[in-house]
Amino acid sequence: MKAAKKKAVAVLSTMALVTGLLAGCGSDEGQAAEGGVQNVSIAIAQVGDVPSKGNEVQQKIEAYTNTKLDIQWIPASAYNDKINVMIASSDMPKIVKVQYNPTVTSAMRNDVFWEVGPLLKDYKNLSAQNERFFNNIKVEGKIYGVPVFSDIARATVIYRKDWFEKLNLKVPTTPDEWYETIKTLATSDPDGDGQDNTFGLMLFKKYNEDQYSFTTRLGVSFGAPNKWKVEDDGSFTPEFMTPEYMQVLDLLKRLYSEKLLNQDFAVFDSTEAEKKYDSGVVGMRVGVAQNGKSQQERLSKNDPDGVVDIAGLLGANGDRVAGQTGNSGILAFPKATVKSEEELKNLLSFLDKLMDPEMATLLMRGIEDKHYKKAGEDQVEMSDFDAFQREVKPYRDNLPYVEGYNVPKLKDTELGEKGTDLAKELAEHAVPNPALTLYSPTYGDRGADLDQMIADAQTKYIMGKIDENGWKQEIENWANAGGTKIREEYAEDYKKQAQ
C-alpha cells in the first residue's frame, strides 16, 4: 500500500514536470500593431544597469515616435557571440546593433541585412550628417545600416599646463620637440619636490594597437598615414613601412634607452598608467579631447594646484589627425524580420525622428528639471548627472545622436566645452584610414595574428632588443606570413571600388 502510494507520487511528479515543461513553451511573440502604433524590436548593448520597462525616457520616446519599443539588452561580455548566434539562426529583432567586424560584414555581403544607402536621402536628419560617417560603414560600396555616430577624429595632447608654464614649454609638434619636451618634463622636477620622480610621458602595453593606438596618432601628426598608405600607383603600404612612422619608433627608442620612458611599458597595465596620470607625476599624454575634463577632475583630488589643458595633436606639416571609424556600432535591419521595404522605411523614419530637436535633447540631456535645467538662452546645465548616467545614457549610447546637432548647448567647465569644440574642429583635419572598408580575406583570417607580430616587433625595437636589420627581418616575416597578400588584396579591392 505504502509502496503503491510512493509510486503514484513518483509518476505524478514526473507528469507534473512534463506538463510544466510544455507550459513553459507556450508563449508566442505575435503581437499585432494597435491603432497605427508601430512595434519596434531592437537588440542593443547593455550600458550599466538595464532600465526598467516602461520608464519615463522610454515612454517619451514611444510617445514622440508613435511606436511600441521592445528592447533586448545584450551584455557586452557576450555581445559578439550573441550576435553571431542571432545571425546564424535568423532569430533577430527588427533592428540589431552590430559592429563592423568580419562576421558582420560577411553577413552584409550575403544579403542578411537590408541595404539602406539609396533611401537615406529621404530622411532629413540622417542625410544631414557628414558623409564620412556613412562611407566608413560601407561594404562593397553599399551602406547596410545607420551608424551610431561618434567623433571621427579626437586625438589630442592632454598636458599639465602649470608645468609647461613653469618650464617655459610649448606643445610639441616635431619628433625633436617631443623628445626635448619629454626630457625636460622628466628631468627638471616640475612638481618641485626635489625628487626625480616625474615622467614626461607614460606608455602602457597596448600603445600600438587598434584605432586608439598612440603610435598611429603620433605618427599621423608627423605625416605618416593612418594605418595604410595608398601609393600613387594604387598599391598599399602599411604605416610601419613609412619613414614618418619610423620617427615615432626612433623617438620612443631614444627615450627608452635614456630611461625617460617607463622601462616596463611592454607589460605595464593601462590601469596602472591611469593611476600615475591621476596622481600627478606625468606631464602629458595623447588622449581623447573629452578626456581633458575628467583628467582634471581626477587630478584635482590628488593635486589641487594641478592645471590640465588640451591641444590638438598637430604636426609641423599642418593639421593632421588620425581618423577613426566614426561610429560605435551600426543599427542594421535584418531581412529575416523586416519583411517589406515599407516596413524598412518606417524603421528608418523612427531612427530619423530620434534626431529631431525634442528627441535629441532627451537623449543627450535627459528630461528637463529631472536631469538638466535651463541655463540661459539655448543653453542647459546638468542638474543630476548620476541619474542621467543611469536612466538616459543606456538609450543615448545605442541610438543615433550627434553632439551639437539639434540639441541645446551644454554649460560645462571651460575645459569641458573646449574639448567638445575641439573634437568638432579636429574632424575637419581627419586623415582617414583608406583600408577601413576594404575587403581582404587574408586579413579576416589571420589579421589579428599578423598585427600582433608587428606590434611585438615594435616593442622589441624600442627596447633595443633588435636593431634596424632585425626590424627589417621582422617586416620580411610579416610579409611572408600573409602581409604581402593583404597588401595585394587591399589594392585590388581599392581598384574595384574606384571604378
Partner 1 sequence: MQQDKTWGNRIFDIVNHGLLLLIGIVTVIPFIYILAVSFTSPHEVAKGGFILFPKEFSLAAYRYIFSTDTLIRSLGVSIYITVIGTLLNLLFTSLMAYPLSRRYLRGRQPILLGVLFTMLFSGGMIPTYFVVKSLHLTDTLWSLMLPTAISAFNLIVLKNFFQAIPDELEDAAKIDGCNDVGVLFRIVLPLSMPAMATFSLFYAVAHWNSFFNAVIYINDSEKWPVQVWLREIVILAQSRIGDTSIEETEIQPLTIRMAVIVFSTIPIMLVYPFLQKHFAKGVMLGSVKG
Is the Cβ of residue 332 or residue 348 nearer to partner 1 in the bound state?
332
Q: Round to whole Å and give the CA distance between 249 and 203.
A: 13
- Separation of alpha carbons 55 and 49, rounded Å: 13
Supply the minimum distance, in Å, between the C-beta of residue 274 and partner 1: 4
The sign one gets for the Cα dihedral 250, 251, 254, 257 is negative
Q: Which stretch binds partner 1 (CB under 8 A): 86-94, 133-141, 241-249, 357-365?
A: 86-94
**Helix (H) or strand (E) run with residue 310 in it:** strand 308-312
Inter-residue contact 57 to 392 (CB < 8 Å)? yes
Among 37, 91, 379, 470, binds partner 1 (CB under 8 A): 91
The region of 73-81, 99-107, 237-245, 408-416 touching partner 1 under the rule CB under 8 A is 73-81
The residue (of 21 and 498) whose beta carbon lies closer to partner 1 is 21
Which residues, at least 6 apart from 376, have a Cβ–Cβ distance to it below 8 Å?
411
Query: Which residues within the stretch 143-162 sit at the binding site for partner 1 (CB under 8 A)?
Result: 150, 155
Query: Does 264 engage in binding with partner 1 (CB under 8 A)?
Result: no
Tell which positions 339-358 bind partner 1, by CB under 8 A: none
Q: Which position among 328, 337, 346, 477 is part of the footprint of partner 1 (CB under 8 A)?
A: 328
Note the helical H segments in 113-262.
124-127, 131-135, 161-166, 175-187, 214-221, 243-257
Shortest Cβ 199–partner 1 spacing (Å): 16
Contact residue for partner 1 among 24, 194, 304, 318 (CB under 8 A): 24
Q: Which of 46, 99, 242, 383 touches partner 1 by CB under 8 A?
A: 46
Q: Are strands 67-74 and 95-98 parallel, antiparallel or unpaired?
A: unpaired
Task: State the minimum distance, in angstroms, from the CB of residue 493 to partner 1.
Answer: 28
The H or E element containing residue 285 is: strand 284-288
As a whole number of angstroms, the distance between CA 347 and CA 95 comes to 8
Q: Which is nearer to partner 1, 250 or 297 (CB)?
A: 297
Q: Which of 5, 32, 63, 89 binds partner 1 (CB under 8 A)?
A: 89
Number of residues this chain uses to bind partner 1 (CB under 8 A):
54
What is the distance between the alpha carbons of residues 238 and 17, in angstroms, rounded to a whole number? 62
Could you tell me the end-to-end alpha-carbon distance of the chain, in angstroms, rounded to an integer? 88
Residue-wise burial string across 460-480, b where 16 or more C-beta atoms lie within 10 A, e elsewhere: ebbbeebeeeebeebbeebbe
Q: Smallest distance, Å, CB 25 to partner 1? A: 4
* Amino acid present at 192: G
Q: Is 15 in the site for partner 1 (CB under 8 A)?
A: no
Q: Are 167 and 185 in contact (CB under 8 A)?
A: yes
Determine if 48 is a binding residue for partner 1 (CB under 8 A). Answer: yes
Contact between 64 and partner 1 per CB under 8 A: no
The least distance separating partner 1 from the CB of residue 264, rounded to whole angstroms, comes to 15
Q: How far is the CB of 123 from partner 1 (least distance, A)?
A: 25
Q: How many residues does the chain have?
A: 499
CA 248 to chain centre: 24
Give the integer Cα–Cα distance in Å for 64 and 360. 12
Residue 287 contacts partner 1 per CB under 8 A: yes
Answer yes or no whether residue 470 interacts with partner 1 by CB under 8 A: no
User: Which part of the chain contacts partner 1 (CB under 8 A), choosing from 66-74, 222-230, 252-260, 356-364?
Assistant: 66-74
Q: What nine digits make up the cell of 13?
A: 511528479
| Binding region for partner 1 (CB under 8 A) | 3, 6-7, 10, 17, 21, 24-27, 43, 46-50, 52-53, 72-78, 81-82, 84-85, 88-89, 91, 150, 155, 204, 206, 212, 269-275, 285, 287-288, 290-291, 294, 301, 328, 389, 393
